[in-house]
Structure 1
Amino acid sequence: MRSRRPLSALVALAAAAALALSGCSSSDDASPSPSPTGAAGGDTSGATDAFPVTVTSALGDATIDQAPERVATWGWGSTEAAIALGVYPVAVGEQRWTVGAGNLLPWVEDAFDKAGVEHPALLTDDGSGSSVPYEEIIAAHPDLILAPYSGLTQEQFDTLSDIAPVVAFPEGPWTTSWDDVIRITAKALGRTAAGDEVLDGIDSFLSQQAADHPDFAGKTFAGIWDGDGSVSIYTPADARVAILEELGLKIAPSVSQLDTSDGGFYFDLSYEKLDQLTADFVIVYGSSQEEVDASLAKPALQAIPAVAAGHVVKVVDPVTVSSVSPPTALTFEWSGGLPALIDSIATTLGN
């Protein structure tokens, strides 16, 4: 039988934390209460669908009885999707690798500030999303937890479902497409019409970019991240590379031929086999310019034909990598995100 922490124990811990904070003079230290106007939360007047709404995921169903007012998000992309639909979450998973603990992603922070909405609580995440901070989520009093692009386990889903309805991924962890993240979020929020409008706007942007870059049509690529003795290669299941096919580009056939992931979003290829990774160009992701340059200078990576030919697009630094890995409802037209990557691809193909 699965070991599960009783919800009563979690509630007790959350209550104890609230008592410990009650003596603090700053209201910022208090647990969130239902949102007043101008605070994080949902504007239920924006919901156009009938409730209850049931969203089915690979881990179980979530039945949402009425338009959510206090949404928590976990994983990637659902925060931005909710904001694009007019709902500002009260709690979001922190992105420690991208911006460090205690900070919001820049495009998320901009959206809250421009709307005059108070910033959400940041849910502790070690960077992998593997450990869920149940007590912090309870303290946020959510009536919906969005995690359609995440790594939730069945046990985590079941435990969170004792707090509020949980919307998880439709198939596997970390494989939900960027557009399905928006569709699923829109359905859960009762805003499918608004979701269609957001998707139409993104489709128009992508179509225009494809029309502006006819030289992209049919060009093959592979997205990689260098490791120690092997290179991680992103499969078509990963949204960061799949989105580029909307521009007319094609994931190289060699990626599928070499794939050992069994349906995963990436696989590792040993240095000894890198000469088999054939593509018109490669996109190399990394934490810094120095890291990527050092990787490309390795004799092992020079075995990749596109690298040897100098047909390389670099995506460096955590914020830039995150903005396109994959793009979200708020980063398609963010200047440092997909537009910058498209420009880099155009420059590489023009060489």
Structure 2
Amino acid sequence: MKIGKNSKKMLSLTIASAGMAAVLTGCGGGEESGSEAAGSEESGSDESIVIEHAFGETVLEEAPERVATIQWGNQDTVLALDEVPVGFSAANFGPVNENGVLPWTQEKMDELEVEDPNVFQDTDGLDFEAISDSNPDVILAGYSGITQEDYDLLSEIAPVVAYPETPWTTSWRDQITLNTKGMGMEEEGEQLIADTESLIEEKTAEYEDIEGKTVAWVNFSANDLSEMHFYTPADPRVSFLNELGLENPEGLDNVIEDESAFSMTLSAENADVLDDVDIIMGYGDEALYEAVKEDPQLGQIDAIENGNVAFVDAESVVGASGTPTALSISYTIDDYLQLIDDTLNESNE
């Protein structure tokens, strides 16, 4: 097996009190700054900007000047267009620095000479007061897990751009589309998507052996191997693997009951759903792999028995890049593809 090593309004009392209780299980996280998947209307310089999303419709009368972002990776869209958010959420996992910033985000801020970023330390729940204090014209949350309550509270601060339909399932493309629409920079967003697609195409062409192989993202727990926790094709981790040329196994597709859910759990007794998997990916380490390999049920899975398993440390660069953003893709794609290729060519005699 292979282990990935790299690794406007002030707050009302209502908002303040609700913010204390708001807890999110998803991902959270600058200095002041100067998708069609969301079904939005065209906007010009003299037209309002309309963005449709899971909680309805957000209307901006003009392009915002002060942009705040919350939760996982949305700040990367802003930074990728050489703009600096007035505040953004800290990353809740990965190799973050003392501010809670991931390396690809920090690299871009260094390029833009951002010396004192306003990072919301909100990995345990949205910091509504800090968000309000950043005085945003818009709050971007294209990829996020905010609830209706969160959305309502945030909307008392500034207009909010939320995810299209389901929490934590926005692809990197739709994240860029939604967020750049909310910035009044839709055309620039389209170019960013095109450039990223070209990069992916260029890089994957170097790894022809990956094309058509099947992959499953499975998280195991050494403390309880009686269950298997899967990310589904709705999750950006899996959909990105598909973009790299890997396919979803038919056995696993057949047991997905809710296609909109980003994850599901199956008993280890259903290990045969992985019979047609060429490579298993997940969060873990060598010790976890050894435990899984020795399990009487899980150890019978061909990919596990043959060593075609890539467990990555969630605190590593590769581990954190599994959920891709406008900046993480270019930063990590070489290492990611190499890990997959090495794992596919691994064989335990």
CA shift, 1:115, in A, is 1.0
Distance 1:186 1:126, change over 3 A: closer
Structure 1 residue ranges without an equivalent (≥5): 1-5, 14-34, 43-47
Instruction: Check whether the contact 2:11–2:129 (CA below 8 A) recurs between aligned residues.
Output: no
Q: Secondary structure at the residue paired with 2:177?
A: helix
Matching of residues 1-351 of structure 1 within 5 Å: 7-9=11-13, 39-42=31-34, 49-50=44-45, 51-98=47-94, 99=96, 102-126=99-123, 131-227=125-221, 228=224, 229-261=226-258, 263-286=260-283, 288-334=285-331, 337-351=332-346
Instruction: Check whether the contact 2:275–2:302 (CA below 8 A) recurs between aligned residues.
Output: yes
d(CA) in 2 for partners of 1:52, 1:322: 39
CA shift, 1:7, in A, is 4.6
Q: Secondary structure at the residue paired with 1:96?
A: coil
Distance 1:253 1:309, change over 3 A: same
Moved over 6 A (4+): none
Q: Secondary structure at the residue paired with 2:93?
A: helix
Distance 1:78 1:193, change over 3 A: same
Distance 1:289 1:79, change over 3 A: farther
CA shift, 1:321, in A, is 4.8
Instruction: Check whether the contact 1:216–1:249 (CA below 8 A) recurs between aligned residues.
Output: yes
CA-to-aligned-CA distance 1:219-271 (integer Å, 9 cap, x gap) = 11111111333121111101111112223221111221122445201101112
Distance 1:215 1:288, change over 3 A: closer
Matched letter for residue 226 of structure 1: F
CA shift, 1:166, in A, is 0.2
Instruction: Check whether the contact 1:276–1:304 (CA below 8 A) recurs between aligned residues.
Output: no
Distance 1:189 1:274, change over 3 A: same
d(CA) in 2 for partners of 1:268, 1:12: 36
Q: Secondary structure at the residue paired with 2:337?
A: helix
TM-score (norm 1): 0.81
Q: Which residue of 1 aligns with 2:38?
A: none
Q: Secondary structure at the residue paired with 1:109?
A: helix
CA shift, 1:103, in A, is 2.2
With 254-263 and 143-152 compared, the bigger mean Cα shift is at 254-263
With 250-259 and 117-126 compared, the bigger mean Cα shift is at 117-126
Matched letter for residue 174 of structure 2: D
Q: Secondary structure at the residue paired with 1:97?
A: coil
RMSD value over aligned CA atoms? 2.5
Q: Secondary structure at the residue paired with 1:250?
A: coil
Distance 1:96 1:236, change over 3 A: closer
Q: Secondary structure at the residue paired with 2:330?
A: coil
Q: Secondary structure at the residue paired with 1:258?
A: coil
**Aligned residue-pair number:** 312
CA shift, 1:207, in A, is 1.1
CA shift, 1:170, in A, is 0.7
Distance 1:138 1:122, change over 3 A: same
CA-to-aligned-CA distance 1:91-136 (integer Å, 9 cap, x gap) = 1111233337732111111211221123332223335xxx322111
Matched letter for residue 243 of structure 2: E
With 48-57 and 104-113 compared, the bigger mean Cα shift is at 48-57
Instruction: Check whether the contact 1:233–1:268 (CA below 8 A) recurs between aligned residues.
Output: yes
Q: Secondary structure at the residue paired with 1:136?
A: helix
Distance 1:79 1:272, change over 3 A: same
Structure 2 residue ranges without an equivalent (≥5): 1-9, 18-29, 35-42
With 82-91 and 315-324 compared, the bigger mean Cα shift is at 315-324
Matched letter for residue 222 of structure 1: A
Instruction: Check whether the contact 1:55–1:167 (CA below 8 A) recurs between aligned residues.
Output: yes
With 205-214 and 286-295 compared, the bigger mean Cα shift is at 286-295
Instruction: Check whether the contact 1:292–1:316 (CA below 8 A) recurs between aligned residues.
Output: no
Instruction: Check whether the contact 2:16–2:128 (CA below 8 A) recurs between aligned residues.
Output: no
In terms of fraction of residues, the more helix-rich structure is 1
Instruction: Check whether the contact 2:138–2:160 (CA below 8 A) recurs between aligned residues.
Output: yes
